[in-house]
Chains A and B, each alone.
Chain A
C-alpha cells in the first residue's frame, strides 16, 4: 500500500492480459539494486538517505517559495481570491468590494478565509499557497516513486521544487497552485488503482478529481486525460458500474460547490461566467503556450522528458501512456480554447517532471564519454555503473541548476515589467493602494485604466474602483466587473475623485491609456502620487521609471 512497494513489486504491462497484473520484477533502477560490499552500516545510511534527501528538497522548495515572498503586492487575480476569502470570513474591509461568489468554486478561498478575518492580509495567503506548493513537491515524489522507483521520485520532486513554472505560480494566491496539488494526488490515486485494482482507489480517483475541480473547475479537462488513458489502455479493467461509481464520486464531491452556493444564497454567478468564457475573444496568440511554458518548465526538463520517451521507447508501458494523457488533456484543451493563461498548463508540470526524471535516471551514456571519464577519473573497467552514475548525476545537477537559476532570478526580481497574468505581483500596486487608503477620504471613487488595477486598488486601497476599459457590452466583459458606461458623466458629476494610470495596463491598451489621459486633462487632473520602479536604461544605469500615477480630478 505504500510507496515502498514499487521497487520490489512492479506492475508489468502484459499486452495480452485483460487486466494489469502484478509481478515481482527486478528493476534496473540503481536505487533498487544492491551492491556487493554494502554492509549493515551502508544500509543504515541508505535508510536515512531518501528521507534526508526529501527533507532537503522540501526545504529548498520552501525556500524558493517564501524568499522575498512579500516583496511585491498582489496582482489582480490574487486580490480577487484573497478578497473573496476575506469577504467569506466577514472581514469588513473587503466585503463591500469583493463578493464572496464570483467565477470559481470556493475550496481554496475557504481554506484561506481563516487567515483573512481581520485587517489587510497578503503574506499569510501566499504562505498557505507556498506550503501547498511544497506538499505538491512531496506528492510528486510519491507519484514518481510509485511509478518508477524512489530515485525517480526524488529527482522528479527536485525538478518540481526548483521549476520556475511551479515556483512562480505557488508564490501567488492563485487557484492553480492548490489545484495542481490535488491534480497530482488524483494522478497518484489513479496509479494506485491501476497497480492495485482496488475499487476504492478508482473511487478515490474520482473523488480527488472532484476536489481538484472544487479548486478550479477548469480542471475538469483532466477527466479527459483519465478517459484517454483508459481508452488507450484496454487492459486496465474498468467495469462500467465501477466507472459510474467513480464518476458519481466526482460529481458528488463537486456538488459541494453549487449546493453550498445555493444554500448561501447565490446561484447564477457561475452560469454568467461560463457564458462569458464561451464567447470571449482570444487574449493571446496561438503560440502563447509554446513561447511561455517550455522556458518556464525548463527547456532541459522538456528535452529530457521528450528524449526519455525516445531512448526508453523499448521500455514503454502504461505509465508513459498515463503521464502523456495527463499532459495532453490540458495542453490540447487550452491550446484550442481561445482564452489562454500562463498558469493554465501547470497540471502538466508534475508528469513532465516525472518523465524527465525517469529519462535522466536512465539516460544512455555514449561509449566515448565513458572512455573519457574512465581516463579522467582513472576508473577501472570493472566499475562501469559508477561512471554512468557519475555522468547521470552530473546531468541531473546541470538540469536542476538550469531550473534553479531562473527560479532564483524570478524570486529576486522586484521590477516585474511583463504584467503577464499569473506571472507575479505588480510593482507599486500595493503601495499605490495603501497610499490611497491613507491619503484619500473614505468614500473616494477611483477610475483606473483597466480592471486589474481596479482590483488591486480595491484590495489595498479599500476604495471603489472602476476600470475604464471594462466593456459595457455584457458579452465582452467578465461578469464580475462593473462597467462605467459614461465615465465623462461620472467625472462631471464629481462621482469619481481620483484617476489611476499604470504603465502595465497602458502597455496593453494604448487606446484606453490615451482616453484616460484625455479625461485627466479635461477634469483638471493633478498628480498627487507616483510609484516608481527602478529600470535599467540604455547606458546600464538604474533609473526610476513611473509605473503608477495617481491623479486628483474634479469637475
Chain B
C-alpha cells in the first residue's frame, strides 16, 4: 500500500527492492561468495555459557603420568609399578624414575609403538615398545614432577587438571591433530600421512564457525605462510614441516586458496595484540613451534610459552569471559598406567596432560570425566550451538563440569614459577612493642621526676 503523503518513504521502498534484486543476482552468480557474505554479516550466535572466548593450545608428546603421575589426589602412577623389559615377563622390570635434568629422547610414538605398549590392554609393553626402536626403553618410565614443572603444577592447584583426558588417536600427531579440528582421523585406513591433494572436503570446526558467523583464528608460533601442504613434500624434507601437521588447515586447499580464510591463520604475535586489545575471536586455536615440549625439546620453554599466553589472556579485557585449554597431541612414547578405552579402530590413545584455565574454572579441581580432543570440539559446539562434525565429537563428553558458572568470574592471578612460594617471615612484634613501650615509659617517668624534683645536685 502506498502512502501519498510520504513520497520519500515510497522512494526508499523502491531502493530497497532494487538492492535486494541486485543481491539475489549476485548470489546466483557466485553462491560461495554470497554464503561468505552472509556469514560475515550474520550476527554472531551468542554463547550458551559465560565463555565468549575459547582458546585451545596443543603441545606435544607427553602422558599424564609423565607430567602428573606423582601428584597427590590424581589418578597417578600406582605404587609398586615396575614395567617389564619384555612383555609377559615380570622380571626384569623398570620402576618409574625421576627424569629431571637427565635429558630425554624423542621416543617412538607410532601406531606400532602404541600396539606394543598397549599390548591388548595389558599395558606392559612401554619399555619394549621403545627398545624395539633401538632406543633405551627404560626412558619410557621416566617422569617429571613439580621440580621440573612448577608452573603447571601451580596451575593445577589453582584451576582444573583433567586426569582422564585421552589423546584421540592411538597413533601419532597427524591423526590426533585431525581429530582436534575435524572430530575424525583424517586419513583413514593404514595411512597416516597427509594426502598429496590435502584433506579435501573433510569438514572442520572452522567451517561450522564460519557458517554460524562466529569469529575464529588459528595462531601459529613462528608462522611461515609459505609452508602448506603444497610446498611440503614430507616432514623431513623442509624445515618446520610440522607446521602443516600441527595446523591441519594448511593442508586444505579451500583454506589455503581463499585469502579471507587463509588470513585467519596468523602468527602468534597477533594473539598477543588481539588479547591486549580485547579483540580475541570466539574460538582461538594455537599451534606452537619450538616451544612445543616435543622431546627432546625443553619443557621449560614450553612452560614459558604457556605462561606467556596465559599472562596475556589474564591481563586482557577478555579474561572474564575466556577459557584456555591446553593438552598434548599424543603420548610421545612415555608410560601411562591407564588403559585407554578403544571407542573405535583409531582410539583412544594413552592419556595426555590437559589443563583448563578460566575465571570460572573450579579452584584446584581434578576432573576425571573421560575426555579426548573432540571434547573441545564438543564444548565449542555446545557453547555456540553448532552441529557435530563426526561421530566422535557427537558422542564425546565435554568439560562443562570443570566450570562453576554460579560464581562470579575470579580475578586473574599470575602464578609463580616457584613451587614453594617464598615465605614471608614476620618477626615477632611483641619484643618490639614491649621494648619501645618500656623504654618510652621509663624516659617519660625520668623526665617527670626530674621536673618535679627541685633539689639541686652539687
Name A's B-contacting residues (CB within 8 A).
Answer: 1-2, 19, 87-90, 95-96, 100-101, 106-107, 110-111, 113, 185, 189, 192, 196-204, 207-208, 210-211, 214, 237, 242, 249, 253, 256-257, 259-261, 263-266, 440-445, 493-495, 497, 524, 526, 552, 554-555
B458: chain A residues at CB < 8 Å are 19, 197, 237
Inter-chain CA distance A196–B455, complex, in Å, is 8
Contact of B304 among A189, A440, A493 (CB under 8 A): A493
Q: Are A110 and B276 in contact (CB under 8 A)?
A: no
Inter-chain CA distance A443–B307, complex, in Å, is 13
B442: chain A residues at CB < 8 Å are 207, 253
Q: Are A256 and B439 in contact (CB under 8 A)?
A: yes
A113: chain B residues at CB < 8 Å are 429
Count of A-B residue pairs with CB < 8 Å: 142
B431 at the interface (CB under 8 A from A): yes
Q: List 18 A-B contacts (CB under 8 A).
A: A1-B454, A2-B451, A19-B458, A106-B436, A110-B433, A113-B429, A189-B450, A201-B450, A203-B450, A211-B439, A256-B435, A441-B314, A445-B414, A493-B304, A495-B417, A497-B315, A497-B414, A552-B315
Inter-chain CA distance A494–B417, complex, in Å, is 10
Q: Are A494 and B436 in contact (CB under 8 A)?
A: no
Task: Annotate B420-458 by CB proximity to A: 1 below 8 A, 0 otherwise.
Answer: 000011111111111110111011001101111111111
**Residue of chain B at shortest CB distance from A198:** B457
B390: chain A residues at CB < 8 Å are none
**Residue of chain A at shortest CB distance from B450:** A200
Name B's A-contacting residues (CB within 8 A).
Answer: 272, 276, 304, 307-308, 311-312, 314-315, 411-417, 424-436, 438-440, 442-443, 446-447, 449-458
CB distance from B412 to the nearest CB of A (A): 4
CB distance from A309 to the nearest CB of B (A): 30
B453: chain A residues at CB < 8 Å are 1, 198, 200
CB distance from A465 to the nearest CB of B (A): 14
Inter-chain CA distance A264–B433, complex, in Å, is 10
Q: Are A264 and B417 in contact (CB under 8 A)?
A: no
Q: Are A211 and B432 in contact (CB under 8 A)?
A: no
Inter-chain CA distance A106–B447, complex, in Å, is 22
A196: chain B residues at CB < 8 Å are 454, 456
Known contacts A261-B432, A264-B430; 12 additional CB pairs below 8 A are A100-B426, A192-B450, A192-B451, A203-B450, A207-B442, A256-B436, A263-B428, A264-B432, A441-B314, A441-B412, A494-B307, A554-B308
Q: Are A96 and B424 in contact (CB under 8 A)?
A: yes
Contact of A110 among B315, B413, B428, B432 (CB under 8 A): B432
Which of B276, B429, B440, B450 has the most A CB atoms < 10 Å from its CB?
B450
B426: chain A residues at CB < 8 Å are 87, 90, 95, 100
**Residue of chain A at shortest CB distance from B455:** A198
Contact of A265 among B428, B449, B455 (CB under 8 A): B428
Q: Are A88 and B439 in contact (CB under 8 A)?
A: no
Q: Are B457 and A199 in contact (CB under 8 A)?
A: yes
Inter-chain CA distance A219–B249, complex, in Å, is 74
Contact of B411 among A100, A208, A442 (CB under 8 A): A442
Q: Are A554 and B311 in contact (CB under 8 A)?
A: yes
A201: chain B residues at CB < 8 Å are 450
B432: chain A residues at CB < 8 Å are 88, 100, 106, 110, 260-261, 264
Inter-chain CA distance A495–B307, complex, in Å, is 10
Given contacts A88-B432, A96-B424, A100-B427, contact A442 B447 (CB under 8 A): no
CB distance from A203 to the nearest CB of B (A): 6
CB distance from A444 to the nearest CB of B (A): 6
Q: Are A524 and B439 in contact (CB under 8 A)?
A: no
B447: chain A residues at CB < 8 Å are 185, 189, 204, 207-208
